[in-house]
Amino acid sequence: MVGNSIEKGVKGNRLFGDKVVSLLGKPTRPKPQHLPKESPLLLYILVRENEVLGDIVSMKFSFKDSAKWSFFISIVTLFLSSSFTIVSTIVLSGVNWGIGILVVFIIIFIGVFFDMLGLAAAAAIEKPFHSMASEKINGAKQSIRIVRNADKFSNFCNDVVGDISGIVSGTASAAVVLNLISNLKVGHSTLLYSVVSVVFTATVAALTVGGKAFGKSFAIVNSTQIILFVGKFFSFLETRLHIIVFGGNKKGKQKARGKNGIKPN
């Protein structure tokens, strides 16, 4: 009887009556699985990297196109730098130092503004503008062309206009200091001239760097809105003045329409 009861207890996982004895130990429950919590900033960075890398992979480097653009932008830089310098010299030569300071601040603002536009083009992606273009929002198609030519657009805004504004603002600040010192009737070798020159030059540099720092932060966060604003301006140029900026690729159009210019069925 005892042997049979033990045998039954082993088979039923019970020994000696109602006392429960686990031959394999206590049963364990499945432990809760905790997934690592990703911060919103990290998720944004990961998604952003995938989108930006996708756009970068789709871009193709063309030595011939880059050489043409380099030559063209060099000529434009030569013309713009000469024009900026001549205009600023003429304006500052016939005004007092107060108007001169205002002109210098305007030049600084132009440099900061275009630096912001160039960085916004480099940070923007195409996908939002494709959705806008499907809804026929004004400037969406032009914004897509800006993003696809972000290297050229940022080169013009950051390097051409930005650098020219920095050079012209330095030249203009020196002219303002000379005008101010001449009004005060102080010699160039005096301590007052050195103090005014250093203070004004340092102020111009601080405003330029601080303004560009603020513009970069604003451009990265609001790149889509900024490029759409520029796209609307380009759309205005196309519809009213018939000026096309960053036109489509002729080879791509010819391939899409066929060799004879007829779109295949």
Pairwise CA distance, residues 144 & 132, whole Å:
10
Mean pLDDT of the chain: 75
Cα dihedral 198, 204, 206, 210 in deg (nearest 10): 180
DSSP for residue 14: B
- pLDDT for 39 equals 47
**How long a stretch of residues is the chain?**
265
Q: What is the mean pLDDT of residues 29-53?
A: 48
- Residue 224 CA, distance from chain mean position: 9
Most confident of 33-47, 52-66, 126-140, 193-207: 126-140
Query: What is the pTM for the complete model shown?
Result: 0.66
Pairwise CA distance, residues 126 & 128, whole Å:
6
Find out whether 176 and 97 touch, Cβ atoms under 8 Å: yes
Q: What is the mean pLDDT of residues 138-146?
A: 93
250: confidence class by pLDDT, cuts 50, 70, 90: very low
- pLDDT for 147 equals 93
Q: Which residues of 84-101 are buried (b: 16+ CB within 10 A; e: fewer)?
A: beeebeeebeeeebeebb
